[in-house]
C-alpha cells in the first residue's frame, strides 16, 4: 500500500540530498521532474531510498539524479540556471505572435457559432485597409526580432484585399527592418481559388483549416450556410494547397459526435493528404456552451478519445507513415528537448500580452486570440486592453495583462506549484473565466487541467516503451525552435 510505503518517510526530516523535485506515481513507478525541465523514472523502492536518504552514492541511479539536478548537494547552479533560462527565454522577449481578425463574416458554421452573428454581406465587420496599415506597422513596435502574423476571422479570405495588403507590406517591412517574419491564415477555405492559391504560394503563407474528421461529423458542425457541404470545400481546398506547395495543416475540435471514431478521423485526415492532426478541446463558450449537453464532452471522454488518436498515430508511424499529433509534439518538445516550442498557453506565465497579441477587426487590442474570441462570442469585453494608439509599451504593461500574468504564474497556483507537470504546463486565465467564472482556476474541477494532466500521463507512460520514446523524440525535435525562428503559427489557445 503506497501510504504504508511512504508513511515512514514522514517520521524523519527530509534528507539534505533531496533537491527541488516534483513527483507523481504513474502505475507502479514514480515520475520525478524539476524546474529545470528534467525528468526521471524511479521504481517504488528507489523512490523510498531517494526520499529517505538511503540511496547508494555513486550508483547508476545516483549519477542519473545528480546530473539531472535532483540531488541538492550536487547541483550545478550555472548549468541548471542556463537550462532554466533556455526554457523561459520568452520572459525576456515581447510578443512575437500577432493574431489579426480580418472580419467577423463567414460562409460556414462552427461549434461556437451555429450561425455567424453577422450577415454575410455585412461588411462593416471587416477590418479596413486603414486599420490594417496601422497594425502592419504596430506589430514591429515591440522589441522582438521574430514576428509571426496570423490572420483569422470569421473567414479572413472574405476580406482578401486587406489580407493581401497585410501579407505583402508586412513581409516587405520585416525585410527592411531585418526581422524574421512568418505569415499564416486560418480559414475554412470556402473562398479559395487559383488566384488566392498562387498568392499564398508566392508569399509562403502557411494555412490551417478546421477539419472535424469524416464528412457527416464535419458537416454537422461546420456546414455551409446555404446548406452546402463544408467538408467538401475544406478538403478540396487542402488538396489544392498541397498540390501548389503551400504548407497547410488542419485542426480537429473534439465534440460528442467524435467519440469512438478516432480511427475514422485519422483516416479522413490521411485521405485529405495531411500528415498531422492538431486535436483541440471544445471550450464552453458561445453556442458551444448553450449546446454543451449535445456537443460537449467531459475531460474523461476527451482523454479516452485523445488516447485513441494517439494510438492511431503511433500505429501509422510504426508502419513507416509520418503522422503526428501536433499538440503532443508541442508538449514533447518541452518534455524531451528542454526548450520552449512557442505555444503561448504552455508557459510558466500565461503568454497573453507577453507572447501574443490579438487585434479585432475594429482595431481593438486583446492580450490573446482566445481572449478576443471570448469577447466576440460572449459579448464581454473584460480582456480588451485598448487600441494600438495606446502604444506598445502601455498595452504590454496594461493592468489586464498584469492581472493575467499574476493569475497564471504557476508557482503561486494551488496544486500547480507542486505538480509534476509544472515544468511543461501552463494555465489559461481566459479559459478559467469562460469555464469557472474566475481568472484563478479551481484545478480539481477544471477540465483543462484534467485534460493536460491526462495528456502528460499518456505521453510519459507511452514513452517508457523504447520504440515509442524514439518516435516521440523525433516529434519533439520537429517542434524545436532554432534561435531566430519566429513563433510557429496556430499554437495560440483554443476556440477554433
Between residue 418 and residue 477, which ones bind other proteins under the rule CB under 8 A? 418, 442-445
Give the shortest CB-260-to-other proteins separation in angstroms: 24
3-state secondary structure of 29: strand
The count of residues interacting with other proteins (CB under 8 A) is 76
In the list 129, 236, 259, 481, the residue contacting other proteins (rule: CB under 8 A) is: 129
User: Does position 387 bind other proteins by CB under 8 A?
Assistant: yes
Q: Which stretch binds other proteins (CB under 8 A): 82-90, 196-204, 350-358, 457-465?
A: 82-90
Considering the complex, state which of residue 406 and residue 450 has its C-beta at the smaller distance from other proteins: 450
Residue whose C-alpha cell reads 455567424 in the numeric block: 116
Q: Rule CB under 8 A: which of 140-159 touch other proteins?
A: 140-141, 143, 145, 158-159
Task: Indicate the residue among 81 and 470 with the shorter CB distance to other proteins.
Answer: 81
Phi–psi pair at 137, nearest 5 degrees: -85, -40
Does residue 429 contact residue 407 with C-beta atoms inside 8 Å? yes
Of the residues 71, 343, 385, 425, which one makes contact with other proteins according to CB under 8 A: 385
Q: Show Cβ contacts of residue 194 under 8 Å, excluding neighbours closer than 6 positions.
A: none
176 counts as binding other proteins under rule CB under 8 A:
yes
- Residue pair 184/157 in contact (Cβ under 8 Å)? The answer is no
**Judged by CB, which is closer to other proteins: 23, or 283?**
23
Q: Secondary structure of the chain: what % helix, strand, coil (to 5)?
A: 50, 15, 35
85 binds other proteins (CB under 8 A): yes
Q: Name the β-bridge partners of 100.
A: 151, 359
Tell me the closest approach of the beta carbon of residue 11 to other proteins, in angstroms: 6
Asked if 44 touches other proteins (CB under 8 A), the answer is: no
Q: Is the peptide bond before 154 cis (omega within 30 degrees of 0)?
A: yes
Q: Compute the distance between CA of residue 169 and CA of residue 140 in angstroms, rounded to an integer.
A: 12
Residues 334-373, interacting with other proteins (CB under 8 A): 362-364
What's phi and psi for 99, nearest 5 deg?
-110, 120
Kindly tell me which of 84 and 251 has the beta carbon lying closer to other proteins: 84
Q: Does 402 bind other proteins (CB under 8 A)?
A: no
According to CB under 8 A, which one of 33, 39, 84, 108 is a site residue for other proteins? 84
At its nearest, how many Å lie between other proteins and the CB of residue 35?
A: 6
- CA 37 remoteness from chain centre: 18
**Positions in 179-238 near other proteins (CB under 8 A):** 179
Residue 130 found at the interface with other proteins (CB under 8 A):
yes
- The residue from 3, 28, 194, 226 that contacts other proteins (CB under 8 A) is 3
Select the span of 126-134, 219-227, 330-338, 466-474 touching other proteins (CB under 8 A). 126-134
Per-residue HEC secondary structure of 149-210 comes to EEEECCCHHHHHHHHHHHHHHHHHHHHHCCCEEEEEEECCCCCCCHHHHHHHHHCCCEEEEE
From CA 117, how far away is CA 111, in angstroms rounded?
13
CB of 443 to other proteins, least distance (A): 8
**Structure letter (DSSP) for residue 210:** E
Report yes or no: 270 and 196 within 8 Å, Cβ to Cβ.
no
Q: Which is nearer to other proteins, 323 or 366 (CB)?
A: 366
Minimum distance from CB of 481 to other proteins (Å)? 17
294 binding other proteins? (CB under 8 A): no
Give me the residue label for grid cell 489579426: 100
Distance in Å, CB of 87 to other proteins, minimum: 10
The rounded distance, in Å, linking the Cα atoms of 192 and 71 is: 57
Q: Three-class SS of residue 302?
A: helix
- Strand runs labelled E in 144-225: 146-152, 180-186, 206-210
Amino acid at each position: 500500500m503506497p501510504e504504508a510505503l511512504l508513511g515512514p518517510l514522514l517520521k524523519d526530516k527530509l534528507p539534505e540530498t533531496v533537491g527541488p523535485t516534483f513527483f507523481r506515481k504513474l502505475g507502479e513507478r514514480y515520475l520525478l521532474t524539476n524546474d529545470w525541465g528534467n525528468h526521471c523514472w524511479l521504481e517504488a523502492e528507489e523512490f523510498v531510498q531517494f526520499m529517505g536518504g538511503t540511496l547508494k552514492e555513486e550508483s547508476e541511479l545516483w549519477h542519473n539524479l545528480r546530473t539531472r539536478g535532483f540531488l541538492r548537494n550536487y547541483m550545478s547552479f550555472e548549468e541548471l540556471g542556463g537550462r532554466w533560462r533556455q526554457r523561459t527565454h520568452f520572459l525576456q522577449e515581447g510578443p512575437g505572435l500577432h493574431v489579426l481578425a480580418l472580419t467577423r463574416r463567414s460562409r460556414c458554421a462552427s461549434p461556437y457559432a451555429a450561425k455567424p452573428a453577422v450577415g454575410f454581406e455585412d461588411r462593416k465587420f471587416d477590418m479596413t485597409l486603414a486599420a490594417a496599415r496601422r497594425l502592419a506597422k504596430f506589430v514591429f513596435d515591440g522589441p522582438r526580432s521574430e514576428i509571426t502574423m496570423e490572420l483569422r476571422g470569421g473567414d479572413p479570405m472574405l476580406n482578401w484585399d486587406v489580407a493581401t495588403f497585410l501579407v505583402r507590406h508586412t513581409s516587405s517591412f520585416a525585410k527592411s527592418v531585418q526581422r524574421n517574419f512568418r505569415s499564416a491564415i486560418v480559414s475554412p477555405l470556402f473562398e479559395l481559388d487559383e488566384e488566392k492559391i498562387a498568392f499564398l504560394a508566392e508569399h509562403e503563407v502557411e494555412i490551417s483549416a478546421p477539419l472535424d474528421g469524416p464528412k457527416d461529423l464535419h458537416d454537422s458542425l461546420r456546414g455551409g450556410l446555404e446548406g452546402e457541404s463544408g467538408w467538401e470545400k475544406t478538403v478540396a481546398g487542402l488538396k489544392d494547397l498541397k498540390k501548389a506547395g503551400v504548407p497547410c495543416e488542419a485542426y480537429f475540435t473534439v465534440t460528442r459526435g467524435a467519440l469512438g471514431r478516432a480511427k475514422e478521423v485519422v483516416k479522413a485526415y490521411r485521405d485529405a493528404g495531411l500528415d498531422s492532426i492538431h486535436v483541440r478541446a471544445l471550450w464552453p463558450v458561445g453556442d458551444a456552451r448553450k449546446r454543451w449537453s449535445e456537443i460537449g464532452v467531459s475531460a474523461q471522454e476527451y482523454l479516452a478519445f485523445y488516447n485513441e488518436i494517439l494510438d492511431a498515430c503511433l500505429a501509422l508511424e510504426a508502419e513507416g507513415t509520418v503522422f503526428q499529433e501536433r499538440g503532443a509534439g508541442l508538449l514533447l518538445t518541452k518534455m524531451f528537448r528542454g526548450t520552449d516550442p512557442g505555444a503561448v498557453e504552455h508557459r510558466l506565465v500565461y503568454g497573453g500580452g507577453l507572447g501574443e497579441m490579438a487585434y479585432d477587426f475594429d482595431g481593438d487590442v486583446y492580450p490573446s486570440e482566445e481572449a478576443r474570441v471570448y469577447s466576440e462570442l460572449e459579448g464581454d469585453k473584460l480582456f480588451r486592453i485598448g487600441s494600438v494608439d495606446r502604444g506598445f509599451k502601455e498595452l504590454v504593461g496594461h493592468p489586464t495583462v498584469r492581472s493575467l500574468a499574476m493569475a497564471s504564474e504557476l508557482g503561486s497556483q494551488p496544486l500547480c506549484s507542486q505538480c509534476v507537470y509544472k515544468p511543461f504546463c501552463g494555465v489559461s486565465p481566459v479559459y478559467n473565466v469562460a469555464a469557472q467564472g474566475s481568472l484563478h482556476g479551481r484545478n480539481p474541477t477544471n477540465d483543462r487541467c484534467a485534460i493536460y494532466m491526462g495528456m502528460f500521463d499518456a505521453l510519459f507512460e507511452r514513452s517508457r516503451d523504447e520504440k515509442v520514446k524514439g518516435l516521440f523524440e523525433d516529434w519533439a525535435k520537429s517542434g524545436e525552435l532554432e534561435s531566430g525562428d519566429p513563433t510557429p503559427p496556430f499554437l495560440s489557445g483554443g476556440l477554433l
